[in-house]
Structure 1
Amino acid sequence: MLASSEFQWFYWIAPILVLSFLAIVAGLSMGYIRRVLVPRYRGKRVE
């Protein structure tokens, strides 16, 4: 057996945690690009 029954919960929660972390990072990155970088290169004033 690869792991004891005490740590079996990790095998189903690990992909959920990784995917949610990646989704949060992607959302924050896209929001930053859309609200800060795009207006900066278009010449609009960034507040």
Structure 2
Amino acid sequence: MYNGRTGEQIKTEIFIGPTYYQRLKHMVVDKVHCTTGDHEVLTSNG
């Protein structure tokens, strides 16, 4: 491994393990409840 600024070699052990990614179901479409008309913030009525 090398230092990105100086280009000097860094003497160390490197471990590269598996990386996992998971898609979370936090889509705006699933969270929108009121899209038209007046929307009351206090009571969440729309």
Greater fraction of residues in helix: 1
Bigger Rg over Cα: 2
* TM value normalised by structure 2: 0.30
Q: Which has the higher contact order (CA 8 A, sep 6+)?
A: 2
* TM value normalised by structure 1: 0.30
